[in-house]
A and B are shown apart, each in its own frame.
Chain A
């Protein structure tokens, strides 16, 4: 029999051990997070916002934070909500009593944190979005393309971004970001 003490599985993170960046861009794997893909009809947005303790943004390309949680507008009835690993998003959403779909995608995605003055240029190596502060201010987010993969991009500061990507695409995303970081330094 297996010893029950050693019987608790440990996490192995995608992107563990990777490093990259340049003199103007820092690239690092984000800490593990809890994430849900949340689907809510317009009439129930308020109920879910209250239950989660974060206002679900209803304007395209915007996000909001509260209660240690961040909600990203992904589509007309779709949000990516993330927070600390034990924040309990599915349970919070369930307390709303309103019709919704909350699907745990904590492990589906991983995130790369991009920071430094060359961040936007590095991301623009493969992302066709306008990342000027006017068009993509702090808090702006978008489900978009990065080279050949889909990412969800969130601007966390003037020169910092969070790149959410499906785990099996994260090596590719990190590799292309490294190329972008190198070019941004030139």
Chain B
């Protein structure tokens, strides 16, 4: 063989489809290699004779490359561009080489060749299947301290980068008539047929180029080499306006109603990606019809030490040779139960590679391949098995024995290619909830009952004959096209389960699942331990539970279990395939939902002005609300104390725009509100407003707010900031389902209005000059009035209301005018000695007045009476949401938790919100809890702390001393009423 030393000694001149002049350099574990453009990491390393790529998960056994595709369970590597652009567990058979790639092996220390962890291999009797269920049972204490940390460190493979991901990811929704998953012969033919109908077609393939099995197979289509036909067909399809061809794109999930998830790898193969290019793109496709042309996956043979580097699938060796121009060895052994491996041997032999022998576990291989083998002078050992292999870091020999015989002979090989036959890829079909049937003759599961508008064609449907496959694909596409093809050989054979060389000896390691190090004897042990369902066997052994989801191992594991149980395979069952088909990065799934676009940050119209005044903001739901306005040198505490005092002594300006607002309009508006709130609304006159409580059906407080009546048929409802969306939904739900007879409509107006609250003794003086056409004197516009008027020339809604207990107004102006009005009001307020205040001060001031905050002082188990708001529950109404709930025995019993005030005996002591309350702090634990602190603040106005609490039988305990036990002390408190400031309530009428 003649090789190019540049791109590897195992590169075969004239073989493969890469251009020798186009090279890329990369490093593997620090050593530099040259690859050809189009190489995968696997083919590039094999070209240099590198087979050892990693250490296995559990036993740290040396491992190499098993496949040439996405099903690879072994060759998982760490691939990076730089420190932040680093990805663990990348399949060497999928990752294309790019210039400058830094690639490293995983799960080894100190080096790949000398790995301390391989000690586990010697200890393997202790690591049998299910070992942790038994070993780590006792002592109980050791679980937290010893076992869990050890298991956690050992669990998982590879290391995630610590830096943030600097790449960006895109996402797109798209609709099509027909989505075709897989662009091999079947998919391409189906696409040609579907495209001819004029329908919108999307053809998807996970490989860099279309072709599927044509990458390696000796197939002639339309008189052309199959691979060339595939590329020409793709070019033709791409030129059609109704067809989209996506390569390097995996259909990873098939969900309900023709919804599919695709991940497109846009730049992972490019040395210097453009700055606008996303690394990956998530496609969310709604397809009217899905054609599954997902092909099949070759299985390995299960025999002793079948995992050494240099042992790989026959089809993989063929791909490396025919597509990448790389020989997997100088002297290659073949171990097979299927004709397909013979073709790999023929191709290798013709390329100048020595074939040590074809060991066929069958006594009657296919006639055609047998005679071709003879013609090529290849030694075929039919009815033989490979019993064992040797070689520390790479296979050096295979031990062959006649089936049932005793005389073993060792044959020197530097690679062993294997095939147990082919497993149809029914993953997506199964994800779509289709039902499979077992094809007894060919020992495989095939699509049977479809749950969605989809159809399987080709190898994934068990259609092996090429002419039949083409017909099937054309029919599925629904169009009329002509494609003709022929294969050189018809294939026969195949087996599932353990081959002769897999035991039954106890010590033999015949791997079924490479990624999770599950052997045939592990499956047998699981059955002996009493696992009879494949679901239990799977979990006990972890067979098929690695990231490759058992693409190679499931059928073998099932067959071994079936044999042990003496039950036919369909009775043992098949585990369900789940999305994703192959691993998908978090980056793709997150797409744009990061940074600024992680979640909408809602800002009020006055946000920028507040920021300019030095506001600190807090998150309230998605809203960013001004929290407090520190002056130079002030901390939060000082700022809030100043704001609290200034509002009560002079005045303050507050941005209340985030309060939910709902316009309730229609002749039955009052009747509707009567049903939704506990209070009565028909008695409210236009121009007046009222505080309202809304309960759920169960009688507990749901929301509260002030409702103003603008006209007979129009109300302006306010809700809590966080409650706005759910209150509207709650109202709309009742309107549509319970009260559809009412003539009333609801519209969210939260964002229509910028709301500027002006509170304090000088509130009227502050706003007076801006209000036009309305007398806002106390006599003409008393507390709880509402009017439409002009403010600074803008039609506005003015409320006289207060959440501070002071004289107060809330100026509602159309949102675009908010900043201008705010600026003018604030300028005047400032000149009069008032301040800006934020949500923290608002919280303190309302607590000083005993005004509750729904969701802070209530928690979904508090009735209006518990909150001391029974006055807001109409005694006259015959119906409202919650009226029956409020009559439930538990809601009317004595001793319910009620909201009361708490004053600490030490006025400087500020209670912690959430602190538990007890009557006797010396009682034995667990203590009887009477309730908890719901709100607690330092009140600068009172020069002491204040608190609100839910306390069992609270209102009957006025004056009682209770205790709040804390970790380091016990705080004595006195139960009081909830109004701490201006108990007579005169100030609001100023």
Contact = CB atoms under 8 A, between A and B. Distances in A.
Interface of A: 1-2, 7-14, 22, 32, 37, 39, 77, 99, 101-109, 121, 124-130, 132, 135, 147-149, 166-169, 171-172, 175-176, 179, 182-183, 185-186
Nearest to B820: A9
A170 to B, nearest CB: 9
A124 B174 contact: yes
A149 B593 CA distance: 12
B344 interface: no
A2 B601 contact: no
B792 A108 contact: no
DSSP class of B's interface residues: helix, strand, loop or mixed?
A: mixed
B666 A172 contact: no
Interface of B: 168, 170-175, 200, 266, 274, 276-278, 281, 284, 286, 592-593, 596-597, 599-605, 622-623, 663, 665-667, 743-745, 747-753, 769-770, 791-794, 813-821, 824, 828
Contacts of B667: 99
Contacts of B600: 148-149, 168-169, 171-172
Contacts of A172: 596-597, 600-601
Given A108-B750, A130-B175, A186-B276, A11 B666 contact: no
Nearest to B666: A101
B154 to A, nearest CB: 38
A71 to B, nearest CB: 16
Contacts of B168: 179
Contacts of B599: 148
Closest 8 CB pairs of A and B: A168-B602, A39-B745, A172-B600, A101-B665, A9-B820, A130-B175, A101-B745, A8-B793
B284 A128 contact: yes
Contacts of B817: 9-12, 107
Contacts of A149: 600
Contacts of B665: 39, 101-103
Contacts of B593: 147-148
Given A9-B794, A9-B817, A168 B751 contact: yes
Given A9-B792, A126-B592, A135-B175, A183 B601 contact: no
Given A9-B792, A147-B593, A39 B173 contact: no
B747 A121 contact: no
A104 B752 CA distance: 8
A185 B168 CA distance: 15
A32 B749 contact: no
Nearest to B819: A12
B769 A182 contact: no
B171 A126 contact: yes
Nearest to A166: B751
A171 B623 CA distance: 13
A39 B277 contact: no
Nearest to A77: B745
Contacts of A121: 172
Contacts of A185: 276
Given A147-B593, A147-B597, A183 B820 contact: no
A129 B601 CA distance: 24
Nearest to A182: B276
A170 B409 CA distance: 76
A101 B667 CA distance: 10
Given A7-B770, A186-B277, 16 more contacts: A1-B769, A2-B770, A7-B769, A7-B793, A9-B793, A12-B816, A12-B818, A14-B816, A22-B276, A101-B666, A103-B663, A107-B814, A126-B171, A130-B286, A167-B751, A186-B276
A179 B816 contact: no
B815 A167 contact: yes
Contacts of B750: 108
Contacts of A101: 663, 665-666, 744-745, 747
Contacts of A11: 816-817, 820
A183 B793 contact: no
Contact of A127 (B173, B281, B815, B824): B173
Specify which of A107, A126, A132, A147 lies most central, judged by the most chain B CB atoms within 10 Å of its CB: A107
Contact of B747 (A7, A105, A127): A105
Contacts of A12: 605, 816-820
A149 B598 CA distance: 12
Contact of B814 (A2, A106, A171): A106
A108 B750 CA distance: 7
A10 B665 CA distance: 29
A85 B536 CA distance: 68
A102 B749 CA distance: 12
Contacts of B744: 101
B402 to A, nearest CB: 60
Given A9-B794, A12-B818, A128-B286, A108 B172 contact: no
Contact of A107 (B277, B743, B752, B770): B752
Specify which of B173, B601, B770 lies most central, judged by the most chain A CB atoms within 10 Å of its CB: B173
A171 B817 CA distance: 18
Given A2-B769, A9-B817, A148-B599, A103 B747 contact: yes
Given A101-B745, A166-B751, A169-B600, A179 B815 contact: no
Contact of A169 (B174, B602, B813, B815): B602
A135 B794 CA distance: 42
A123 to B, nearest CB: 9
9 contacts: A9-B791, A14-B815, A77-B745, A101-B744, A103-B665, A107-B817, A108-B749, A167-B815, A175-B597
Contacts of A8: 792-794
A73 B393 CA distance: 70
B717 to A, nearest CB: 12
B815 A107 contact: yes
Contacts of A182: 276
A2 B824 contact: yes
Contacts of B663: 101, 103
Contacts of B794: 8-9
A155 to B, nearest CB: 15
Nearest to A8: B793
Contacts of B603: 168, 171
A176 B286 contact: no
Contact of A124 (B172, B753, B820): B172
Specify which of B274, B745, B814 lies most central, judged by the most chain A CB atoms within 10 Å of its CB: B745
A185 B663 CA distance: 42
A125 B752 contact: no
Contacts of B200: 132
A40 B667 CA distance: 13
